[in-house]
A and B are shown apart, each in its own frame.
Chain A
Amino acid sequence: DGGITQSPKYLFRKEGQNVTLSCEQNLNHDAMYWYRQDPGQGLRLIYYSQIVNDFQKGDIAEGYSVSREKKESFPLTVTSAQKNPTAFYLCASSTTTVQAEGYTFGSGTRLTVV
């Protein structure tokens, strides 16, 4: 079955550590996205990528980094520069950013700072 797989489901980070969240899709989508979800707030865009080896900052990119070396994969690194990283992180993909057809979300990773 086609879909988006995020791993791990739960992740704990110590202060000062970098952690990487995985996102893999087999939908043959060109565009991939990372969102952050906090209680009482709408999803906020961190980074997005329209094509391999290209990505753009979203609304809240500070303290995060991404790479897009393969069409299927779009990992997100939460760096120690992110002051409040505890949140639910969602990865999504779509055919292109123009039509955004088939916009599909992964099941999420909950990151907690300990």
Chain B
Amino acid sequence: KNQVEQSPQSLIILEGKNCTLQCNYTVSPFSNLRWYKQDTGRGPVSLTIMTFSENTKSNGRYTATLDADTKQSSLHITASQLSDSASYICVVSALTGGGNKLTFGTGTQLKVEL
């Protein structure tokens, strides 16, 4: 069964600090891995998407890494801001006969405080 597990479940950090969110997956055959940011009551917004051959991808203060051998990914947020408070969702895509099938993690709830 394809699964995506994220840790920690929730996290509180002070503004300006860095943090790293983790994603472990058991999805096969692997197609790509995406990180989304979801503000409360809003739809998810894409941060990064990585294929098998990509190890690192950055989007401003967000840097995602992928280790396809250990099936792990991380999202590093640098110099956090209050606006970073949101749920961060890891999504892994498997390429099946019917196309890309996405498996969603349950998200890490990040709160950035003054």
**Chain A positions near chain B (C-beta within 8 angstroms):** 4, 6, 31, 40-45, 50, 56, 88, 90, 92, 94, 96-100, 103-108, 110
Interfacial residues of chain B within 72-103, with CB under 8 A of chain A in the complex: 89, 93, 95, 98-100, 102-103
**Closest residue of chain B to A102, judged by CB?**
B46
Query: Please, could you name 6 A-B residue pairs with CB atoms under 8 Å apart, sorted by A?
Result: A42-B105, A43-B104, A50-B99, A100-B31, A100-B99, A105-B43
User: 7 tightest A-B contacts by CB?
Assistant: A97-B99, A42-B104, A105-B43, A100-B100, A43-B104, A98-B99, A107-B43
**Chain B positions near chain A (C-beta within 8 angstroms):** 4, 31, 34, 36, 41-46, 89, 93, 95, 98-100, 102-107
Residues of chain A with a CB closer than 8 A to B4's CB: 42
Write the nearest CB–CB distance from B77 to chain A, whole angstroms. 21
Whole-angstrom CA separation of A38 from B100 in the bound complex: 22
Residues of chain A with a CB closer than 8 A to B95's CB: 98
Residues of chain A with a CB closer than 8 A to B105's CB: 42
Residues of chain B with a CB closer than 8 A to A105's CB: 36, 43-45
B100 touches A90 (CB 8 A): no
A41 touches B106 (CB 8 A): yes
